[in-house]
Amino acid sequence: MPVLRESLFANPVWSALHSRHRHFAIRRGLACRYPADVVPFMAIADSSPAAMQQLHAMLAPGENAWFGAENYIETPGLARHETLPCLQMVLPETIAPPDLPIAVVPLSCADAGEMVALTARAFPGFFRQRTCEMGRYFGIRSDAGELIAMGGERLKLDGFTEISGVCTHPSFRGQGFAARLMWEVVQKHRLEGTASFLHVSAANHGAIKLYRRMGFEKTRVLTLHRVSRNA
Give the model's pLDDT for residue 225.
Answer: 98
93 and 47 together in one domain: no
Q: Are 65 and 40 in contact (CB under 8 A)?
A: yes
169 and 63 together in one domain: no
For residue 1, tell me if it sits in a domain: no
77 and 136 together in one domain: no
45 and 156 together in one domain: no
pLDDT-derived band at 100 (thresholds 50, 70, 90) equals confident
pLDDT of 83 > 70? The answer is: yes
Give the model's pLDDT for residue 1.
Answer: 53
79 and 111 together in one domain: no
pLDDT-derived band at 8 (thresholds 50, 70, 90) equals confident
144 and 56 together in one domain: no
User: How far does Cα 154 stand from its chain's mean position?
Assistant: 5
191 and 93 together in one domain: yes
The CATH number of whichever domain residue 129 belongs to comes to 3.40.630.30
Average pLDDT of the residues of the chain = 95
Summarised one tens digit per residue, pLDDT across range 126-185 is: 999 999 999 999 999 999 999 999 999 999 999 999 999 999 999 999 999 999 999 999
State pTM to two decimals: 0.94
Summarised one tens digit per residue, pLDDT across range 189-198 is: 999 999 999 9
- Contacts of residue 73, defined as CB under 8 A and 6 or more positions apart, other chains included, come to 47, 48, 49, 52
35 and 145 together in one domain: no
124 and 178 together in one domain: yes
For residue 48, tell me if it sits in a domain: yes
Kindly report the CA angle at 62 between 59 and 63, in degrees rounded to 5? Answer: 50
Give the model's pLDDT for residue 139.
Answer: 98
What total number of domains does the chain contain? 2
Give the model's pLDDT for residue 4.
Answer: 57
111 and 179 together in one domain: yes
For residue 24, tell me if it sits in a domain: yes
- Determine which helix (DSSP H) or strand (DSSP E) holds 208, and give its type and residue range: helix 205-214
For residue 133, tell me if it sits in a domain: yes
Which of 177, 128, 175, 168 has the alpha carbon at shortest distance from 148?
168
pLDDT of 7 > 80? The answer is: no
93 and 166 together in one domain: yes
- Contacts of residue 106, defined as CB under 8 A and 6 or more positions apart, other chains included, come to 136, 137, 138, 139
Rounded CA separation 162/89 (Å): 10
Rounded CA separation 224/226 (Å): 7
% of residues, the chain, pLDDT over 90? 92
pLDDT of 3 > 60? The answer is: no
Summarised one tens digit per residue, pLDDT across range 42-73 is: 999 999 999 999 999 999 999 999 999 999 99
- Mean pLDDT calculated for residue range 24-44: 98
165 and 59 together in one domain: no
Summarised one tens digit per residue, pLDDT across range 111-131 is: 999 999 999 998 999 999 999
**Domain containing 115: what range?**
89-220
